[in-house]
Amino acid sequence: MDRLIECVPNFSEGNDLSVIRQITDEIEAVDGVELLDVDPGKATNRTVVTFVGTPEEVVEAAVRGVRKASELIDMTKHSGEHPRFGAIDVCPLVPIASVTMEETAEYARELARRLGEEVGLTVYCYENAATNQERRNLADVRTGEYEGLAEKLADPHWAPDFGPAEFNPRSGATAVGARDFLVAYNVNLNTTSTRRANAIAFDVREKGRMRRKGHPLTGEVIRDADGKPEWVPGSLKSVKAIGWYIDEYGIAQISMNLTNISVTPIHVAFDECSERARDRGVRVTGSELVGLVPLQAMLDAGRYFLRKQQRSTGVSDSELIKIAVKSMGLDELGEFDPKKKIIEYVLAAKGTTKLVDKSLEAFVEETASESPAPGGGSVAAALGALGAALGTMVANLSSHRRGWDDRWEEFSDWAEKGKVCQEELLGLVDADTQAFSSILDALRLPQGNEKEREARMAAVETATSHAIDVPMKVMEVSLEAMETIRAMADIGQETSASDAGVGALCARAAIRGAYLNVRINAKDLSDQSAATNYLDRGAEMEKQATVMEREILSLVDGNI
């Protein structure tokens, strides 16, 4: 996978779409950068832009976008609900693929340097790019906001990391950081009271609230021996939160930054806010995600709410996402389109079309065409996926069967196992065709001299090995899927016995078909030892599949 980082600049303009468009045009002008999301907010008067690319491309695009923003946005005329201290308020970099956090921090410092020297901005580095511990927390860096920036810059202790130390009324200051994937998440309340929203925010955020004597909001602040306020921690780790009123929607919200969703996932934050709101006589009505969210976060949320309902979690990703959206009310304030809100789906939409994205009719027609790919290997993988899907279906149906409520979790676990096999086999449909294409590419390499001939032979050998590895994987995963199918033929609901039987036939056909591909490619390997090893392993799996098919069909016959 390419080395990828994400950049999520927050520009202090959320109403003038022409200004936003000019900024994003500059970003998109950099070759290799993909603009993933533009999310303007009227009440906050702030736009969150998300783009991704290789580190060097992303840094260049950020410099161009920020330069244009500094020309167009005037902070002397800005007002909004969100904390801010500059026209380009924050500009974090996030490692996505094949890049470490340490490397990302270095790129962030390079970006900060260029913004200071080339654009003339006052720049602070925060989070993992911070130059000292005191500047790691963005809230500390932004203390006083734009209105207090002139006084802050007069203090040598708060001299910027890059750029001028003089107050620029037009641009303010910018914070550049390197951080983990952050989810900006707002929970909607059935109140217009900012005070109530803030109280709930203080209940849940990690920092909590200051300890007080008497009344928790108005009482005297309790201080330690050094005179510093004591704090009562909130209930959620890795969460920053404030309460605000959004005039655009006429409601108050708890606005949160989930800085580590492996510590506090979205669904946990939603449920905790719901509980704390209920304690204060307020009700959560829904929520909204600002910017993009990782697919896994949505799938985890879907599974979480299905488990609360004692329903099987071995359902499709689209169903898990639907459950997550409805459970957290993510569509209350506007449409939640997974293709536009989930980062993996956005990236996939910008890539090449896959075989598995085609309709069944189109896949069959392409298989039937004069093109040699997709061929038997891809069809074998598709058969395996269908077999796994049938086993998963029986598990899901059994999980919801009336009178079997105490067994729902057992069948849910089987459905999860079947779904994993199903998804892996779907991926192998395209992998097989790509492996075949790699052989053709290797065969087309030049062979005009001895060095070129040796390089071509090595490339063909490598491509051939890969073209064997893929159907071997089809065999392994299809055999694993037969475990779920066998369990469902044994303990699943009797009315679905025929479905388990068809699943077994599909999986067995996938294994036998994939082995044919192993055999036909193994004869082209020059490494005869490797070829023999492939053939022996494949023959053993085919033998196991034959035995399992017989067992499954015997169970099916007994239930019909």
Active-site residue, selected from the candidate residues 203, 300, 430, 432: 432
Q: What's the rounded Cα separation, in Å, for the pair 294 and 545?
A: 37
The answer to whether 368 touches 401, Cβ cutoff 8 Å, is no
Locate 530 and state its tokens.
Answer: 């490797």
CA distance 123 to 117: 10
Cα–Cα distance measured from residue 367 to residue 387, given in angstroms and rounded to the nearest whole number: 19
Side-chain half-sphere exposure of 398, counting CA atoms within 13 A: 30
51 membership: H or E segment, kind and range = strand 46-53
Closest to 36 (Cα-Cα) out of 49, 45, 21: 49
What is the rounded distance in angstroms from the CA atom of residue 497 to the CA atom of residue 487?
11
Q: Are strands 251-258 and 239-246 parallel, antiparallel or unpaired?
A: antiparallel
Q: Is 161 a catalytic residue?
A: no
* Cα–Cα distance measured from residue 481 to residue 475, given in angstroms and rounded to the nearest whole number: 10
Of the candidates 498, 500, 541, 490, the residue with the CA atom closest to the CA atom of residue 380:
541
Task: Map residue 19 onto helix, strand or coil.
Answer: helix
Nearest-CA neighbor of 468 among 541, 381, 377, 371? 377
Residue 82 catalytic? yes
**What span, in angstroms and rounded, lies between the C-alpha atoms of 542 and 514?**
10
Spatial separation of the C-alpha atoms in residues 205 and 366, rounded to whole Å: 54
**What DSSP designation does 115 have?**
I
Contact 286, 332 (CB under 8 A): yes
Beta bridge partners of 229: 223
How many other CB atoms are there within 10 angstroms of residue 537's CB atom? 15
Max Cα distance, the chain (Å): 89
- Which of 91, 92, 100 has its CA nearest to residue 3? 100
Q: Is 475 within 8 Å of 507 (Cβ atoms)?
A: no
Query: Which candidate in 39, 78, 82, 89 is catalytic?
Result: 82
Amino acid at 74: D
Pick from 25, 77, 69, 71: nearest CA to 47: 69
Output phi, psi for 526, to 5 deg. Answer: -80, -25
Catalytic residues: 82, 432
